[in-house]
């Protein structure tokens, strides 16, 4: 747990021999060892005038060292070589335990890397605050490195009993549609069970929602909600904010639903703050209960109370298990999809949320046909209860 394996930088003489030997013998042995040591230094000193390879720090070890100081065990850190448009890089994923001090981690990691004459810079996250906790990119010891910190996964809790022969069910929702009309064509070849969550405040929200519904797809209202403050884009106009009156929240939900009129359910866009506030969530759920809509908790905060508020109000609800594209690269999306399938197997069902990014759509197009014998794709409303 959290152990660092670090070799001492210099070779040391090996102690051997027992106790109680005549001292002359010990002196002779010491002289032989000393001689051997000197010979080794001469031989290797000549043969390798440049610094030994160990002198170049492994970027992943640097991340491990900092994370473990802050209480994150090393088995929670995975490293892989991936490539993007600019070439190969080391991708380090930190699965942070509950209560992990993310900002301190960022600061200490930046400092540690700086001491190695490298640089890691913080990058924005797609839906920051919650599951995707931090992302840093840069160069360490001459190598490109990316570090992604992911928050706690929701625990696996078997949902009732299912017949053993039934295939596990998987719901996939693609978030953030509405800004571009092109997404309608891009998504068209995907199985119609793949649902889409449409923002109410984007350039083409109503038109895109209508066209995607016409493909036979389930549409969700992707309701903008207040995130924990910080840099990066906000949730946009008409968002649910903490401190609004119940009437105002009801009015904002109604206005959003008038735009995304095809919605069968609602999930939160951002909302790492709003979903933790019970009065705010009660007001949202009251607005949904009248309309017989379900609520999918995107879980952008581990402290979310949205599911509880939904149950209290009698709103059918479900929660996100896996985010597909925290890192928007084919291999990362493929792996996240496999995680979602594994979770569906362990749990009977699972919900994966991605975004309408071309890479996510492309990977789903490639992978879903082969997954058909493992999981049954269903629209999310079928998993809401």
The footprint of Zn ion (CB under 5 A) covers 175-176, 269
b/e per residue 135-169 (b: at least 16 CB within 10 A): bbbbbbeebbbbbbbbbbbbeeeeeeeeeeeeebb
Nearest by Cα to 106 from 125, 87, 89: 125
Within its chain, how far is the Cα of 135 from the centroid? 10
Instruction: Quote the least distance from Cβ 45 to Zn ion, whole Å.
Output: 59
Residue 176 or 297: which CB sits closer to Zn ion?
176
Which residue is at the shortest CB distance from Zn ion? Answer: 269
Instruction: Quote the least distance from Cβ 322 to Zn ion, whole Å.
Output: 15
CA distance readout (Å), 198 to 127, 175, 216, 284, 352: 15, 7, 15, 17, 16
Instruction: Quote the least distance from Cβ 344 to Zn ion, whole Å.
Output: 22
Instruction: Quote the least distance from Cβ 197 to Zn ion, whole Å.
Output: 7
C-alpha triplet 146, 354, 233: angle, nearest 5°: 70
Residue 268 or 347: which CB sits closer to Zn ion?
268
Residue 176 or 218: which CB sits closer to Zn ion?
176
Residue 106 or 176: which CB sits closer to Zn ion?
176
CA distance readout (Å), 33 to 14, 39, 40, 142: 9, 10, 10, 38
Residue 118 or 200: which CB sits closer to Zn ion?
200
Residue 127 or 262: which CB sits closer to Zn ion?
127
Instruction: Quote the least distance from Cβ 335 to Zn ion, whole Å.
Output: 21
State the Cα–Cα distance between residues 51 and 223, nearest whole angstrom: 56
Instruction: Quote the least distance from Cβ 88 to Zn ion, whole Å.
Output: 30
Residue 110 or 307: which CB sits closer to Zn ion?
307
Instruction: Quote the least distance from Cβ 327 to Zn ion, whole Å.
Output: 16
Residue 175 or 193: which CB sits closer to Zn ion?
175
Instruction: Quote the least distance from Cβ 293 to Zn ion, whole Å.
Output: 17
Nearest by Cα to 349 from 163, 171, 193, 194: 171
Residue 128 or 379: which CB sits closer to Zn ion?
128
Instruction: Quote the least distance from Cβ 174 to Zn ion, whole Å.
Output: 10
């Amino acid at each position: 747990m959290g152990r660092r394996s670090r070799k001492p930088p210099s070779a040391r003489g090996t102690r051997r021999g027992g106790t109680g030997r005549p001292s002359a013998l010990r002196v002779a042995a010491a002289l032989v060892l000393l001689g051997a040591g000197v010979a080794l230094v001469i031989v290797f000193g000549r043969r390798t005038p440049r610094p030994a390879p160990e002198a170049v720090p492994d970027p992943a070890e640097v991340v491990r060292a900092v994370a473990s100081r802050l209480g994150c065990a090393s088995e929670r850190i995975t490293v892989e070589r991936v490539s993007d448009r600019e070439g190969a890089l080391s991708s380090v994923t930190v699965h942070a335990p509950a209560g992990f001090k993310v900002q301190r981690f960022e600061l200490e990691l930046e400092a540690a890397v700086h001491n190695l004459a490298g640089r890691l810079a913080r990058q924005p996250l797609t839906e920051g605050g919650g599951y995707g906790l931090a992302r840093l990119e840069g160069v360490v010891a001459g190598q490109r490195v990316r570090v992604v910190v992911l928050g706690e996964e929701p625990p696996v809790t078997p949902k009732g009993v299912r017949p053993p022969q039934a295939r596990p069910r998987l719901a996939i929702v693609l978030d953030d549609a509405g800004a571009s009309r092109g997404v309608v064509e891009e998504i068209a070849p995907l199985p119609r069970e793949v649902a889409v969550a449409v923002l109410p405040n984007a350039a083409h929200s109503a038109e895109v929602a209508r066209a995607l519904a016409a493909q036979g797809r389930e549409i969700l209202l992707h309701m903008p909600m207040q995130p924990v403050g910080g840099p990066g884009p906000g949730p946009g106009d008409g968002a649910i904010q903490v401190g609004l009156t119940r009437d105002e929240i009801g009015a904002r939900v109604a206005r959003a639903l008038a735009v995304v009129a095809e919605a069968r359910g609602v999930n939160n866009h951002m909302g790492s703050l709003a979903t933790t506030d019970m009065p705010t969530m009660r007001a949202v759920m009251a607005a949904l209960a009248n309309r017989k809509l379900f609520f999918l908790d995107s879980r952008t905060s581990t402290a979310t109370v949205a599911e509880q508020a939904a149950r209290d109000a009698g709103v059918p609800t479900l929660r996100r298990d896996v985010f597909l594209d925290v890192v928007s690269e084919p291999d990362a999306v493929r792996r996240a999809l496999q995680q979602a399938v594994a979770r569906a197997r362990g749990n009977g069902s699972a919900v994966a949320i991605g975004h309408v990014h071309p890479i996510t759509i492309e990977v789903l197009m490639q992978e879903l046909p082969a997954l058909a014998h493992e999981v049954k794709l269903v629209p999310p409303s079928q998993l809401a209860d």
